[in-house]
Amino acid sequence: MGIYLDNSATTRQYDQVTEKMMEMMREDFGNPSSLHQMGLNAEKALKKARKQLEDAMSVYNHDIYFTSGGTEGDNTAIFGVCNSKKRLGKKIITSKVEHPAVLEAFKKMEKQGFEATYIDVDSGGFVDVEQIREAVCDDTILISIMHVNNESGTIQPIDKIATLKKNATFHTDAVQSFGKLPVPKDEADIITVSGHKIHGPKGIGAIAIKKNLNISPFIVGGGQEKHFRSGTENMPACVGFGLAAEMSCKNLDSRMTEVKKVRDYLQAGLKREIKDVKINTPEESCPSILNVSFLGTRGEVILHTLEQSDIFVSTGSACSSNKGGGSHVLKAMGLSQREIDGAIRFSFSEFNTIDEMDYVIEKTKKAVGRFRKMGSFR
């Protein structure tokens, strides 16, 4: 399979998750809304998956609803809050480094008459908390700031932001932090997570909404998920997600300590062996992400050169990597075009080892050296 270092894009599914999903498809394939025994068995499995997710997130003051993934969760939070609170105000706040699922949703709300503020970040990717303080007013109805950035690994100061919200609902996209860090359960009113970032299946996610907070549903129909998210539940994916959440959050601190050792080893090796390297990930960051600029190169060329050695990395967010124009995250952090052009994101999981990193360092050094020799390194 090679050395997979694109875990922020998606992860290898746990074998146990795959086996459990196959069991649901072959044997317990009933509809949880059906009244017969197979339906009741499915409903029981759905309740267990929801409980596993609740325990993994420790969100006992929230209600959990299954979605199709992080994008639907973010859209549901933003559209739902805006539709339910529009009589109270039309001011909404986010940052310039959010995932497209948030930024595009905000643009849509602007077209519907909402006034959006996009908060700046510093060179480490951290949001300007004072700018948020100045932007929040009595008719601000929504603040949406991600917990961990998917490109830089920056951990946003969710605790500080939560103290500034006044009457606003506070949503955080925790897709990249869930399974790596404790989710901000006490600070956030709404939290969105995704299955395939934590060794679970694709096409499944969840939104956790603080109890007694009423927002408009995004999808209507048969009334599933307590009338909040209609449509027959994707039972194999729900059950797989629940198990993946339980497994990925077990012994979280010790597992992430090992992941950080692997990341730090690679970072030190790249800086030692390759000249003109810029580390874009701040020192205090999520242990699963390392963003590096190899000056005088093109990230896409380095990516494909490493691919020939069975090393799989990314130049940025997989959700928008085919749009071109460079990373909006790195631009917001103030990187030069030269630094953005040479950026590579390495993202790690518990399956990566230090021994693998020696090979990655060797092949990256060769790839960068080859490009610089052939290109116009300045």
Q: How many CB atoms lie within 10 A of CB 208?
A: 24
Question: What is the C-alpha separation between 337 and 32, in angstroms, rounded?
Answer: 52
Question: What is the C-alpha separation between 23 and 283, in angstroms, rounded?
Answer: 43
Q: Where are the alpha helices (DSSP H) in the chain?
A: 15-26, 37-57, 70-85, 100-111, 129-135, 158-162, 235-248, 252-273, 299-307, 328-332, 337-341, 354-374
CA 26 to chain centre: 31
Taking each helix axis as running N to C, give the angle between helix 15-26 and helix 235-248, from 0 to 180 degrees, rounded to the nearest 10.
160
Q: Quick check: 231 and 222 in contact, CB under 8 A?
A: yes
- 149-165 core/surface letters (b: 16 or more CB in 10 A; e: else): bbbbbbbbebeebbebb
DSSP result, 99-162: -HHHHHHHHHHHHTT-EEEEE-B-TTS-B-HHHHHHH--TTEEEEE--SB-TTT-BB--HHHHH
Which of the following is catalytic: 82, 137, 286, 319?
A: 319
177, with CB counted inside 10 A (0-12, 13-18, 19+), is buried
CA 77 to chain centre: 15
Helix, strand or coil, per DSSP, at residue 34: coil
Catalytic residue status for 319: yes
Give me 5's structure tokens.
């270092």
- Active-site residues, by number, are 319
